[in-house]
């Protein structure tokens, strides 16, 4: 049995699963796979802890737990035996399989945390791999599903507790098959439980194992090897795309919060389809980290929706998420929640604006309004430029009288734009200027008494314009958080 031990050792080394002598918690069901794993890791000199959860689903489950405890004791290892009423958890609205997985991994994570262990090992073999890939193929869970079980994953991400723990889930037996783990147990005198409570072995998986794989072997006798290779290659591609996405992530994102994400629709639409899919998948997972088996449909619908020529709009996604489409932006957030739009000037409440020689008024998120008095001729020149550079505006100080302040939109707000005849609704101006719907409510407006004299960064009013008779001018500039050179990505 030296060969199997060496193969496990090589696999651990090649995939950098464990450092020499590292602490590792082994999830032991009592079956051949987990006993083989336990024995190998112990013999390879790792500091092994044994974790066993009694799912209380079958008669005799506590005897099995006792057997695991005895075996650990024989090897001189510390064992933690948990007990959970999995059926009761399932009754709260999970399938038995889901409930078992949730409870089991929570138990393993808690145990790992208790002993300061960073790696949890499970006994998945290449047979599990083949079955998993086939299950994913049949269910259509996409390329990352075809990658199957990875040698190492971030467990906390996977279960979605999201409490920042960096515990890894490792599968050191992924290069062995079940026949090898059974042979290993025999050779080492280990006595696996006949029917360990492995809840992953559902009806569907059993049908695949005992019925479908033999059928497929009639088409290609090497089907197991082919599927394992396919999984390896898919894993490589998935990693590549993740890497690519990680490198580009900041190009997309304009705002990231716990359950929401705001991104550049323009950047998104420039990308090839494969990357659009990967991005949306990652964005949805960002908003709902514990989502599993994200279907094809939601991704394709999202791409279709974002590619349409219309602007403002929204569609429901999954798990209460909503996809919002703006002009150059798009966002995903929980129903009823919005974005801060920190890439736009936004204002919470009202702010008094002084008429000092030179001043600065802070807006939300690092934006600011800078003011200074300039000469009439400079004011005139600036006014002529305004069409091009709406981040700046100039006003005739003599025409001011009501007291300057910044506020946000009120029902019925209107403005006569510089150079125009009639007055228009500010709400319509927002539509015309393609201000995203979600950014309108907190867009800053400069008012003099009752008159709106500047829709900040967009258009100024005719009333306070600079004329040849103007003597003194107030020049206001909108400053973005990134500094002067940084245009708002409106």
Interacting residues toward a copy of itself by CB under 8 A: 137-140, 142-143, 146, 204, 207-208, 212, 215-216, 219-220, 222-223, 225-227, 229-230, 233-234, 236-241, 243-244, 272-275, 277, 296, 300
Query: Nearest approach, Cβ of 242 to a copy of itself (angstroms)?
Result: 9
* Angle of CA points 307, 311, 312, to nearest 5°: 125
Strand partners, 460: 454
Integer Cα distance of 103 and 154 in angstroms: 17
Please measure the distance between the N-terminal and C-terminal CA atoms of the chain and give it in whole angstroms: 66
Residue 473's H or E segment, with its range, is strand 472-479
DSSP single-letter state for residue 360:
E
Smallest separation (angstroms) from a copy of itself to the CB of 66: 38
Please, which residue, 35 or 306, has the CB nearer to a copy of itself?
306
**306: number of Cβ within 10 Å:** 18
Q: How far is the CB of 93 from a copy of itself (least distance, A)?
A: 24
Crossing angle of helices 32-43 and 178-187, in 10° steps, is 60
CB under 8 Å to 77, separation ≥6 — which residues? 38, 42, 48, 49, 50
CB of 467 to a copy of itself, least distance (A): 55
* Nearest distance in Å: CB 310, a copy of itself: 18
Tell me the sheet residues that pair with 48. Answer: 24
* Coil, strand or helix at 54: strand
Q: How far is the CB of 236 from a copy of itself (least distance, A)?
A: 4
Annotate 261-290 with b (16+ C-beta within 10 A) or e (fewer): bbbbbebbeebeeebbbbbbbbbbebbbbe
Who's near 329: CB < 8 A, 6+ residues apart? Answer: 254, 262, 263, 264, 265, 343, 436, 489
3-class SS string, 81-124 = EEECCHHHHHHCCCCHHHHHHHHHHHHHHHHHHHCCCCEEECCC
- The CA–CA distances, whole Å, from 72 to 15, 69, 81, 118, 296 equal 27, 5, 11, 20, 44
Which is nearer to a copy of itself, 22 or 248 (by Cβ)? 248
* Cβ 240 to a copy of itself shortest distance, Å: 3
Closest contact distance (angstroms) between CB of 272 and a copy of itself is: 5
Nearer to a copy of itself, 222 or 410 (CB): 222
């Amino acid at each position: 049995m030296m060969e199997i031990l060496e193969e496990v050792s090589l696999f651990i080394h090649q995939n950098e699963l464990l450092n020499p002598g590292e602490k590792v918690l082994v999830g032991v069901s009592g079956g051949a796979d987990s006993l083989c794993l336990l024995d190998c890791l112990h013999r390879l000199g790792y500091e092994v802890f044994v974790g066993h959860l009694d799912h209380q689903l079958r008669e005799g489950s506590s005897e099995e737990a006792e057997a695991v405890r005895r075996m650990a004791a024989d090897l001189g290892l510390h064992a933690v035996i948990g007990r959970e009423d999995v059926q009761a958890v399932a009754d709260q609205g999970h399938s038995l399989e889901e409930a078992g997985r949730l409870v089991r991994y929570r138990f393993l994570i808690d145990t790992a945390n208790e002993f300061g262990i960073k790696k949890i090992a499970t006994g998945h073999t290449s047979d599990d791999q083949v079955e998993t890939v086939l299950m994913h193929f049949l269910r259509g869970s996409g390329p990352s599903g075809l990658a199957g079980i990875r040698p190492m994953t971030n467990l906390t991400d996977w279960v979605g507790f999201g409490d920042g723990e960096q515990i890894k889930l490792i599968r050191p037996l992924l290069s062995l098959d079940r026949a090898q783990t059974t042979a290993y147990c025999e050779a080492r005198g280990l006595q696996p439980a006949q029917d360990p409570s492995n809840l992953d072995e559902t009806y569907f998986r059993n049908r695949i194992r005992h019925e479908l794989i033999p059928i497929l072997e009639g088409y290609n006798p090497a089907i197991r090897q082919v599927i394992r290779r396919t999984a390896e290659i898919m894993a490589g591609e998935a990693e590549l795309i993740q890497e690519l996405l990680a490198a580009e992530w900041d190009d997309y994102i304009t705002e990231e919060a716990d359950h929401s994400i705001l991104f550049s629709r323009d950047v998104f639409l420039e990308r090839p389809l494969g990357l659009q899919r990967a991005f949306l998948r990652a964005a949805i997972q960002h908003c709902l980290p514990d989502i599993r088996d994200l279907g094809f449909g939601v991704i394709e619908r999202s791409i279709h929706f974002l590619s349409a020529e219309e602007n403002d709009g929204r569609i429901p996604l999954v798990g209460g998420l909503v996809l919002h489409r703006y002009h150059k932006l798009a966002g995903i957030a929980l129903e009823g929640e919005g974005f801060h739009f920190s890439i736009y000037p936004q204002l919470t409440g009202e702010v008094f604006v002084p008429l000092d020689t030179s001043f600065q008024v802070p807006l939300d998120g690092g934006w600011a309004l800078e003011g200074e008095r300039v000469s009439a001729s400079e004011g005139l020149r600036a006014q002529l430029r305004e069409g091009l550079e709406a981040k700046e505006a100039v006003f005739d100080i003599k025409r001011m009288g009501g007291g300057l302040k910044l506020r946000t939109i009120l029902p019925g707000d209107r403005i006569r734009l510089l150079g125009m005849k009639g007055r228009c609704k500010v709400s319509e101006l927002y539509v015309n200027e393609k201000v995203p719907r979600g950014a309108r409510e907190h867009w800053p407006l400069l008012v003099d008494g009752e008159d709106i004299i500047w829709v900040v960064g967009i258009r100024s009013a005719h009333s306070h314009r600079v004329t040849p008779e103007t003597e003194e001018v107030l020049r206001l500039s909108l400053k973005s958080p990134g500094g002067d050179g940084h245009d708002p990505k409106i």
